[in-house]
Amino acid sequence: MGVEIKPLSSALGARISNLNLENEISNSDLIILRDAFLKYHLLCVEGLPLNSSDFARFARLFGEPQIQLLRNRWDKENPEVSILESTYKNMNDKPKDLTMVRLSGWHTDDSYFENPAKATVLQSLAIPSSGGQTRFSNTRKAFEKMPESVKLNIEGLFAIHSYDTVRANARAQKLTIDEFNETKDVEHPLVRTHEDTHLKSIYFNPNRTDRIVGMARAESDSLLDVIYAWVTREEFQYHHDWRLGDILLWDNRCLLHSVNVDYPVGEERRHQRILLKGARPA
Ligand SMILES: [Fe+2]
């Protein structure tokens, strides 16, 4: 029986079954998977936790891994794999105001680079007994459903993406000097066209987009607030309940994500991640 694809929600995403990660994936299955990725923007492959080499081998089927910014997360054997530890080890790690946890903020990975990662591959290695879902929002659909007058107003605008911005609730992790030197501010179009599908999406990163080029701060803030409210509408969202070993592959060019950071203290939550190289947004 060949690989099976089932939509996960009306907003985005599809579940892949009948794919045995221990065998080599056939060319015909690979074509089906790549097409489904472009159609649904997010694929969930069921499996068991892989070692970092096997995980990297799977990710390479969809693109070339990019070395990630934060050195302290690199896997020792395979530095293109980052280990993302999100366990609250003790009570002090979990703030009362959960918006102060950086992961809870909507974002698209890597937008502070000139060439942000086109896709993220994330596998759960440990999951808590409740909470901890990753939420996704479809900014291609959000753009398509915008009133034409608003589309016309925002197409052609550029925004400045910074490693950190006062617009985000929680501050970003402190950088080493090397990391700081790699994260100069960068301008990206507010509406980008996908290189493979040629469809437009809103490219806005609430954790990193600081302001619109050529606008005063107040005017820029009110426009970004309106866009934020629009792109995070429930109709564009899918929330993923992790099972151990799930691999999610998602398209950063047309999705935002954030984490439900309300899960029990002392229960492990850990993932391994690969980012796949992308082109400069246009
Ligand atoms: Fe992320």
**Domain map of the chain by residue range?**
4-276
> Cα of 107 to ligand 1 centre, how many Å?
6
> Cα of 148 to ligand 1 centre, how many Å?
30
HSE toward the beta carbon, residue 187, CA cutoff 13 A:
7
> Cα of 16 to ligand 1 centre, how many Å?
22
Question: Cα dist. 34→16, 27, 28, 193, 199 in Å?
Answer: 12, 10, 10, 18, 16
Superfamily of domain 4-276: Clavaminate synthase-like (3.60.130.10)
> Cα of 145 to ligand 1 centre, how many Å?
25
> Cα of 273 to ligand 1 centre, how many Å?
9
pLDDT (tens, 9 = 90+) of the chain, 282 residues, equals 789 999 999 999 999 999 988 888 999 999 999 999 999 999 999 989 999 999 999 999 999 999 988 888 998 899 999 999 999 999 999 999 999 888 999 999 999 999 999 999 999 999 999 999 999 999 999 999 999 999 999 999 999 999 888 888 888 888 888 888 888 899 999 999 999 999 999 999 999 999 999 999 999 999 999 999 999 999 999 999 999 999 999 999 999 999 999 999 999 999 999 999 999 999
From CA 203, how far away is CA 140, in angstroms rounded?
A: 9
Say how far residue 216 (Cα) sits from the centre of its chain.
29
> Cα of 142 to ligand 1 centre, how many Å?
19
> Cα of 89 to ligand 1 centre, how many Å?
21
What's 74's DSSP letter?
B
> Cα of 106 to ligand 1 centre, how many Å?
8
